[in-house]
Structure 1
Amino acid sequence: MTSRVRLGSLIAMLAVAASGCSTELPGSAIAAEPSATPAISDARSGEVFGDLKACDLLEPTTTPKGFAAPEIERYESDNGCAAQKRGYASVSIYLVPEAGIDQLSPGQGTKIPTKVGGREAVEIPGDSGTEACTVAIAVTPNARMTASTSLNEGTNEEACALARELAVAAEPKLPRVG
Structure 2
Amino acid sequence: MITKSRLLVFAALPITLTFALSSCSSEKPGNATPVPTQSDASSKTSSPSTNVFEDLKACDLLEPTTTPKGFDPPVVETYESDNGCATRKQGFGSVSIYLVPEAGIDQLSAGQGTKIPTKVGSRDAVEIPGDAGTQACTVAIAVTPSARLTASTSLNKGTNEEACALSREIATAAEPKLPRGS
Q: Does the residue aligned with 1:164 lie in a helix, a strand or coil?
A: helix
RMSD: 2.0
Q: Which amino acid aligns with 1:174?
A: L
Question: Which structure 2 residue ranges, 5 or more long, are not aligned?
Answer: 1-36
SS across alignment from 1:99: coil
**TM-aligned CA distance change 1:66 to 1:25, over 3 Å:** same
Q: 1:89 maps to which residue?
A: 93
Name the one with the larger helix percent: 2
Counterpart of 2:60, as a letter, is D
The reply to whether residue 25 of structure 1 matches residue 44 of structure 2 is no
Rg comparison, structure with higher value: 2
Q: Offset at 1:29?
A: 7.0
Tell me what 1:15 maps to.
none
Write the mapping of 1:137-156 to structure 2, written as runs, cut at 5 A.
Answer: 137-156=141-160
Please name the residue that 1:14 is paired with: none
Structure 1 residue runs without a partner (length 5+):
1-21, 31-40
User: Where does residue 13 of structure 1 map in the other structure?
Assistant: none
Identity %: 76
Give TM-score, length-normalised by structure 2: 0.75
Structure 1 CA distance, aligned partners of 2:132 and 2:40?
Answer: 46
1:75 corresponds in structure 2 to: 79
Distance 1:147 1:28 in 2: 37
Residues 134-172 of structure 1: CA deviation (Å, up to 9, x unaligned): 000000000000000000000000000000000000000
Aligned residue identity for 2:120: V
Query: 1:7-50: per-residue Cα shift (whole Å, max 9, x none)?
Result: xxxxxxxxxxxxxxx9x6146978xxxxxxxxxx7x825x2000
Aligned AA (2:49): R
State the 4+ residue runs in structure 1 displaced beyond 4 angstroms: 27-30
Provide the secondary structure at the position in 2 that maps to 1:149. strand
